[in-house]
A and B are shown apart, each in its own frame.
Chain A
């Protein structure tokens, strides 16, 4: 039996009928058509599906779509402003922080959250802050560098992500 869920995704209000067992990540990909959020494992280890909910990084495979009722969800597609990449997206590009690109959206979203909490992280703090995400291509060297560079271009300022509504459950 389907249930109604209404939430905001990248600033747009949506209302859909979904099966209660539908994971948020499948909702974003299959129902909302936002395929930038990826699935790399079955057990919430890889972090490829990381999105922001009320500004907080959440692995979107760890919650059902219906649990996101009234939530404000931001995905990788909602990060850039038109053609203007977010400083983290730009830094991943500049520092060669990606190769196959599959884990990248998750790393960028986790990085956005990390910098919102700690605008001037040390390398150790970056590595610790990103340990919920797996990458097989880069050896993490340039991912750490990219976050460091983004912290610099963002001026070390605490910058709340654009979406700022109250969060639903799902931590």
Chain B
């Protein structure tokens, strides 16, 4: 075992010099000769029949190369787009076929209707403006509860009830006894508004089909190039070996660049049809309108407890707005009900999930995907119990935590939580937040009519997808393991190929820390490669679900192990020692007890390509490893938010935000903190600011620009206080868990719990998101009116 030098250290990112100097390689920076530009004509209506498309004027416009409609695309891709596998949802009822372009029916605003190619971007847009489409507007389904009524209009004729799935995981029977003995039963409906993921780089595709070699090369902004390769091959009928997907620098993704999109196929097919490379870069409005949305759900929960704060049972029904079609990973969001128990022990949990079609853009995973929803509902439930029983929310949590000694712990749905110490993160967070002092301050402030609040979120997460047995069904057969290849050059430099994909996470740095330590070589001689399907092992699985380190890092670590094993055999031969007597330490193969009998890593690398290898040994020093994790990994933590609500404006002042998290062993603390910062702010943004809004009657998107979609700026965000504990994961040899989504999973609940706590003197028990000044002000006014005809004072 080599002494760790780099793992655990704050090493500055290797990718940054190119990015801070303007030399990143994003898809829109790529140019091919004879490249045409695509503009997409989209349906302006949420539900419409296409009566006629007239392209006469468009094709005559200067610089227009071609105009394609569904009929043209059918010739090169007759079939539908890839469909979701059953995932966690074995009860999928209806998955309608979806084609990349509408032929007769356009079922959401923004669905592609025609593609115009121009010699320049502007000429393509000019052409698109001249495509004349006659639509017959049809009644649109814009509300989930309306959609479920028999009288509702229908999104698909083959889903007569607008239901995509209705799955009961566990019935009310598993909670009947607990509800029978309950002293407290509380009900609430908790909304999860639709959100737009909004990576700063929108989606983009540059496709170049070579008709002579029958080869397709695609540069694109994606989280998983290998799955894109598979999708292009099957949808376009091209041999997979002839498809190459390249995704170098990607300007953020947050889950929105996992699934296949219509435009991916349209651009690739347009290149095939036109014989030219074709580039399409999504505009921001197209992105807010057409890139999959996140959340879009509501939860009906019922919690049973005792007066002493003991949690007994939970009943949860998730109702999810699927949108007009099932996006390829939409069913993943149902994991929210399987995670609904959070960090607590329950006698039983009844869980049901319903997926409902509407005439809106499909929903799909967005940072956290199901786990923020689970945290939000269970952390709200615990606070409701505390409120009802008059107990401190801290005490209710402590009383019901799964205890440190109880891990590995099998939760209500049979998932095994690998390790944890929930009280430890909570204790530290309370200390950093100054909990007792703030409670004192809160009580003083209330006397002055000021509304201070404290919100807790003792979150847990399952991530690191995942064990093959659990994940293969979700993708239709391809298990989400991870691959790595370690290739040692003659001089001892190392190139590592990983099947994960970095779109801001900074994999190049922690992965090279792991390799440099494992092989005892300087970090500078380690090159990390990803994002090009022409390189490395046959399959890669991409980055989502906080999996890259716990699964991809482990594949790298295992491949390094294979290289060392071979190096030991060769060193033993060259040193004339028994293999069992050779140890590898700090980059040197040496005979145990004789440090002068040693070969450096680079010497062995060189020797592996020379003459005189042991009999039967192949040349070269390189290895491929696939890592199939035995379990998921389970990070956790405690977040505390302190707020003051202004009752006259409904404005929320975030006074302090404390987060103590535990993701097992840490490879690079700087990157872990960065992931938490961004994640926490995304959750705060959901709690306070962001919402995708459609006009209820016309179905038109009202948040189609950054003027209307309220992403926070630096000016709205407080300083964050972070700390961590380290509880290694027993699931993998690195002892690591994921941290990419943790902040978002935790933070919305902390903020909303703080606001509810602040407004508790007014009798307000629950607040939905976003807790905008408008929403809060109305709720405060209503509460005051109820409390005593507009009385402005504080209720004792």
Contacts and interface: CB of A to CB of B under 8 A. Distances in A.
Interface in A34-93: 34-43, 45-46, 48, 75-77, 79-80, 85, 89-90, 92-93
A21 B122 contact: yes
Contact of B713 (A40, A94, A130, A141): A130
Contacts of A101: 15-16, 19-20, 24, 249, 251, 504
Interface in A127-156: 127-128, 130-144
A140 B251 contact: no
Contacts of A137: 200, 252, 504, 674, 678
A37 B29 CA distance: 10
B180 interface: no
Interface in B269-305: 281, 283-285
Interface string B565-596: 00000000000000000000000000000000
Contacts of A100: 199-201, 249-252, 503-504
A31 to B, nearest CB: 11
Interface stretch (B432-440, B536-544, B704-712): B704-712
Given A43-B707, A77-B21, A131-B714, A103 B200 contact: yes
A16 interface: no
A64 B122 CA distance: 14
B674 A102 contact: no
Nearest to B506: A99
A142 B674 contact: yes
Given A36-B24, A98-B16, A126-B714, A134 B122 contact: no
A32 to B, nearest CB: 12
A136 B678 contact: yes
B40 interface: no
Contact of B671 (A76, A96, A102, A131): A96
A39 B28 contact: yes
Interface stretch (B166-174, B715-723, B751-759): B715-723
Contacts of B202: 40
Question: Looking at chain B's contact residues, is the secondary structure mostly helix, strand, loop, or mixed?
Answer: loop
A93 B29 contact: no
Nearest to A45: B706
Contacts of A77: 21-23
Question: Which 7 residue pairs across A and B have the least CB separation, nearest first?
Answer: A36-B22, A102-B251, A100-B504, A139-B681, A101-B19, A45-B706, A76-B22
B713 A98 contact: no
B707 to A, nearest CB: 6
Contacts of B678: 99, 136-139
Interface string A100-114: 111111001000000
A90 B252 CA distance: 22
A48 B720 CA distance: 24
Contacts of B506: 99
Interface size class of B (residues with CB under 8 A): 35 or more
A144 B713 CA distance: 12
Given A105-B22, A108-B20, A141-B681, 17 more contacts: A22-B122, A38-B200, A39-B281, A40-B284, A42-B284, A45-B706, A75-B22, A98-B20, A100-B503, A101-B504, A127-B717, A134-B706, A138-B674, A139-B680, A139-B717, A141-B677, A141-B720
Contact of B17 (A29, A93, A127): A93
A102 B502 CA distance: 13
Interface of B: 12-13, 15-17, 19-24, 26, 28-29, 121-122, 198-202, 249-252, 254, 281, 283-285, 503-506, 670-671, 673-674, 677-682, 705-707, 711, 713-715, 717, 719-720, 743
Interface of A: 19, 21-22, 26, 29, 34-43, 45-46, 48, 75-77, 79-80, 85, 89-90, 92-94, 96, 98-105, 108, 123, 126-128, 130-144
Given A19-B122, A38-B201, A138-B678, A43 B706 contact: yes
A39 B287 CA distance: 13
Contact of B677 (A38, A127, A142): A142
Contacts of A126: 714
A138 B677 contact: yes
A136 B715 contact: no
Contacts of B249: 100-102
Contacts of A103: 200, 251
Contacts of A29: 28-29
Contact of A89 (B21, B283, B705, B707): B21
